């Protein structure tokens, strides 16, 4: 601890980094950031932007960058992204911004990207499922996994699904996002021997709309399948990452 405090004293460590090191989390204006989560959990705390002001989003991203050299953000609106980009342009011009759908990942040059020897297959039934799949992809890529995206193979035209069977079987773990009746994860999980994580997507209208029918169907699936909440691409990506990491560790 002496060392740490000396590093703060001579400026080679910011007070926030020291707090993160000592307590595991940092207390900023926009709340406490769980800087140690990546070490403890294997996946970093992401900043859920929906419902936060642009100022809060920027402040949390800054804290994340300062203490862990990277920031993961989900459900980022246009105006939140603009505020973030402007801010980083001024305060961290050497940061790299990777934006996919509504998900954003920022890294500083100090960040050492990890690498996992494992592939996560990310599958969608149709166009509307893509932002959810993007959210999952960002988490997996951040952790260094290989991501194989297989889009638009919903069961209404079953040959689209079956044509991709070989690729689906090559992944170490599969995330399958589908809305409406959500049958795709069930059909896929009946044909492969890898773990499948179903993600219901909030498409559809009328009774069972907003993803509820898809969630119900995945929970009731007659195949083996685990599920995350509606649109919870981040959680699916996190769970796939934990599995990929366990496989990577075993491969070493």
Site for a second copy in 95-134 (CB under 8 A): 125-128
DSSP characters over 87-112 = HHHHH-TT-EEEEETTEEEEE-TT--
**Least separation in angstroms between CB 220 and a second copy:** 4
DSSP 3-state of 237:
helix
Q: Using CB under 8 A, which residues numbered 233 to 252 contact a second copy?
A: 235-236, 238-239, 242-243, 245-248, 250-251
Task: Confirm if 33 and 61 have CB atoms less than 8 A apart.
Answer: no
Q: Using CB under 8 A, which residues numbered 134 to 193 contact a second copy?
A: 151-160, 163, 172-173, 180-183, 186-187, 189-193
| Other CB atoms within 10 A of residue 130 CB | 20
Q: CB within 8 A of 52, min separation 6: which ones? A: 30, 60, 80
Residue number, 106 or 213, with CB nearest to a second copy: 213
Structure-token pair, residue 7: 């590093």
Q: Using CB under 8 A, which residues numbered 30 to 69 contact a second copy?
A: 30-32, 34, 36-37, 40-43, 45, 50-52, 56
Residue 223 makes contact with a second copy by CB under 8 A: yes
| Other CB atoms within 10 A of residue 50 CB | 11
Residue number, 25 or 81, with CB nearest to a second copy: 25
Residue number, 95 or 125, with CB nearest to a second copy: 125
Residue number, 95 or 228, with CB nearest to a second copy: 228
């Amino acid at each position: 601890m002496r060392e740490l405090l000396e590093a703060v004293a001579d400026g080679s460590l910011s007070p926030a980094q020291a707090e993160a090191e000592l307590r595991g989390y940092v207390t900023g204006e926009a709340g406490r950031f769980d800087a140690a989560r990546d070490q403890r959990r294997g996946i970093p705390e992401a900043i859920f932007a929906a419902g936060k002001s642009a100022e809060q989003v920027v402040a949390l991203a800054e804290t994340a960058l300062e203490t862990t050299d990277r920031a993961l953000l989900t459900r980022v609106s246009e105006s939140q992204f603009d505020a973030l980009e402007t801010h980083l342009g001024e305060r961290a011009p050497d940061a790299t911004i990777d934006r996919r759908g509504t998900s954003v990942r920022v890294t500083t040059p100090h960040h050492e990207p990890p690498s996992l020897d494992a592939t996560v297959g990310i599958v969608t039934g149709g166009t509307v499922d893509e932002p959810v799949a993007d959210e999952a992809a960002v988490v997996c890529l951040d952790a260094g996994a290989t991501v194989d995206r297989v889009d638009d193979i919903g069961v209404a035209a079953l040959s689209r699904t079956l044509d991709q069977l070989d690729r689906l079987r090559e992944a170490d773990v599969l995330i399958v996002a589908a809305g409406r009746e959500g049958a795709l994860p069930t059909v896929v999980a009946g044909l492969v021997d890898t773990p499948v994580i179903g993600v219901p997507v909030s498409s559809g209208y009328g009774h069972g709309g907003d993803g509820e029918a898809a969630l119900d169907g995945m929970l009731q699936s007659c195949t083996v399948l685990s599920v995350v909440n509606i649109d919870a691409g981040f959680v699916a990506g996190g769970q796939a990452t934990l599995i990929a990491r366990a496989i990577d560790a075993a491969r070493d």
